[in-house]
Structure 1
Amino acid sequence: MTEKEKMLQGLPYLASEKELQQTRLHAQRTCFRYNNTDPKHLKERKSIIRGLFEATDALFCIEQPFYCDYGSNISIGNNFFSNYNLTILDCAKVTIGENVMLGPNVAIYTAGHPIHPETRNSGLEYAFPVHIGNNVWIGGNTVINPNVTIGDNTVIGSGSVVTRDIPANVIAVGNPCKVVREITEEDKNYYYKNKLI
């Protein structure tokens, strides 16, 4: 089994392996080109970033700068928007649904390292997938850790650290991120707290 196969199956792997290093370098160079392309050159920017992700016809916007490990392990649904400084460590699969919005400085991590220093110093890493459902809004400065699923229609408050699954149709916030309440039909009437539309 190759180190890449181990990585994608959630097994311990060596990130220093040559094929993985070359793939990461390709992603870093692509991100560098994307991040340094004049924002007014929209077609060029879209062409660069589309070449990084899993083949997709989805409409999406990722503000510069953007960083990832591989790119090929990221799947984005239609009508996706990410604000500035999105970082995705996609050593495992990252699946993002349709109509998802991310605030600035969101970080999605699939990668981790062993706890014990001897094992950690051996160079072994692991990676577990992250899944974000449809119609999700994730506030700025949120960190999403490995092996997490966020359900459809959910809102994650700014500054949250998501360490476990969050169900659908809720507002969740905090460190660690916890459900505050369900989203109700009455929420349609407000645009911010108690301010009526």
Structure 2
Amino acid sequence: MNQKERMLAGLPYRAWQDGLEEERTHCKEVIYDLNHLHPRDRAQIPEILKALFGRTGEDVWLEPPFHCDYGWNIEVGDHFFANYNLTILDVGKVTIGSHVMIAPNVSLYTAGHPLHPASRDSGYEYGAPITIGDHVWIGGSVVILPGVTIGEGAVIGAGSVVSRDVPPGVLAAGNPCRVLRAITEEDRDYYWRNFRFDVTDY
């Protein structure tokens, strides 16, 4: 088993061997082009993402700048939107559902290192997958750590550090992130806090 195969299996691996460094360099070249598009060329963004990511649905968009390690280890569904400064360390598989919105300065870290300094100094690292369900909203400056699954319809409040799974249909926030309450049908009539919609087409 080479180092890429070990990485994809979630086993300890060394990131500079067996072509992984070259793959990251290729990814950086694609991302450089994405992040330096002139504003009049922004229509190219979806096609660049389709070439970079392992799988994309329809209507995918992000606002540069963006950073990731490989790109091919990221899958996004339909109607995906990410705002400025999304960082995805995709040594582990990152699977993002449909109708997902990601606010600015969000980081998804599938990568980790051993706790003990001697083990860490060996150069071995690991990756654990991150899964984000359909209809999830990730607030600004959220950090999602390795191995986390966020359930369908959940909302993660700004500034949260998500170290454990979040169930579907809840509002969760904090450091560490914890469930605050369920999202109910009553919430449908409010656009923010206790402010009701003044329109009928929501």
TM-score (norm 1): 0.97
Contact residue 145 and residue 161 of structure 2 kept, 8 A: yes
C-alpha distance after superposition, 1:126-162 (max 9, x if no partner)? 0000000000000000000000000000000000000
C-alpha distance after superposition, 1:54-100 (max 9, x if no partner)? 14342111100000000000000000000000000000100000000
The count of aligned residue pairs is 197
Contact residue 27 and residue 70 of structure 1 kept, 8 A: yes
The whole-number CA distance in structure 2 between the counterparts of 1:114 and 1:100 is 31
Equivalent runs, 1:147-166 vs 2, <5 Å: 147-166=147-166
Equivalent runs, 1:165-176 vs 2, <5 Å: 165-176=165-176
Letter in 2 for 1:146: P
Aligned-pair identity (%): 52
Contact residue 39 and residue 45 of structure 1 kept, 8 A: no
The whole-number CA distance in structure 1 between the counterparts of 2:9 and 2:53 is 19
The whole-number CA distance in structure 2 between the counterparts of 1:116 and 1:53 is 33
Question: Which residue of the partner structure matches residue 38 of structure 1?
Answer: 38
Contact residue 4 and residue 18 of structure 2 kept, 8 A: no
Letter in 1 for 2:168: A
The whole-number CA distance in structure 2 between the counterparts of 1:156 and 1:50 is 26
The whole-number CA distance in structure 2 between the counterparts of 1:98 and 1:114 is 33
Q: 1:55 to 1:169 in 2, by over 3 A?
A: closer
Q: Mean Cα displacement is larger for which, 37-46 or 165-174?
A: 37-46
Question: Which residue of the partner structure matches residue 16 of structure 1?
Answer: 16
Residue 176 of structure 1 deviates from its aligned partner by: 0.3
SS at match of 1:41: helix
- Structure 2 residues without counterparts, runs of 5 or longer: 198-202
The whole-number CA distance in structure 1 between the counterparts of 2:43 and 2:84 is 18
Q: Mean Cα displacement is larger for which, 11-20 or 45-54?
A: 45-54
Letter in 1 for 2:101: M
Residue 18 of structure 1 deviates from its aligned partner by: 4.2
Letter in 1 for 2:131: H
Question: Which residue of the partner structure matches residue 66 of structure 1?
Answer: 66
- Over 3 Å off, 4+ runs: none
The whole-number CA distance in structure 1 between the counterparts of 2:83 and 2:56 is 20
Question: Which residue of the partner structure matches residue 97 of structure 2?
Answer: 97
Contact residue 80 and residue 101 of structure 1 kept, 8 A: yes
SS at match of 1:46: helix
Question: Which residue of the partner structure matches residue 81 of structure 2?
Answer: 81
Residue 49 of structure 1 deviates from its aligned partner by: 2.5
